[in-house]
């Protein structure tokens, strides 16, 4: 069941629905807050829309980079598993 959360980011209050749990929602909100504040400080922009878009682009970039890393790790593990299975077959 979705729960309603009231959050404040860049002086904007928002109602968010989530069924992920309190801790998860707090972590997500904290990440967005930190990125938005970081972008705001670095860019000097006071336009919340510009800051929000730049923060979203920054978070999306990090997300896609992590997906690429995860794919590489997955393929590495898959190759190692295949190698181990080959060795096990040789021993038999």
Q: What is the pLDDT of residues 46-84, one digit of tens each?
A: 898 999 999 999 999 999 999 999 999 999 999 999 999
pLDDT computed for residue 60 by the predictor: 97
Give the separation between CA 47 and CA 66, rounded to whole angstroms: 29
pLDDT computed for residue 44 by the predictor: 84
State yes or no: pLDDT of 39 exceeds 90. yes
Number of structural domains found in the chain? 1
Domain with 74 in it:
3-91
| Measured CA distances, 69 to 7, 61, 65, 74 (Å) | 31, 12, 6, 9
Give the separation between CA 39 and CA 20, rounded to whole angstroms: 27
1 pLDDT tier (thresholds 50, 70, 90): confident
State yes or no: pLDDT of 43 exceeds 80. yes
């Amino acid at each position: 069941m979705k729960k309603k959360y009231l959050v404040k980011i860049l002086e904007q209050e928002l109602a968010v629905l989530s069924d992920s749990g309190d801790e998860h929602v707090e972590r997500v909100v904290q990440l967005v807050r930190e990125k938005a504040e970081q972008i705001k400080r670095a860019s000097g922009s006071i336009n919340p829309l510009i800051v929000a878009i730049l923060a979203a682009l920054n978070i999306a970039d990090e997300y896609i980079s992590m997906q690429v890393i995860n794919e590489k790790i997955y393929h590495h593990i898959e190759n190692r598993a295949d190698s181990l299975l080959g060795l096990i077959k040789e021993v038999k």
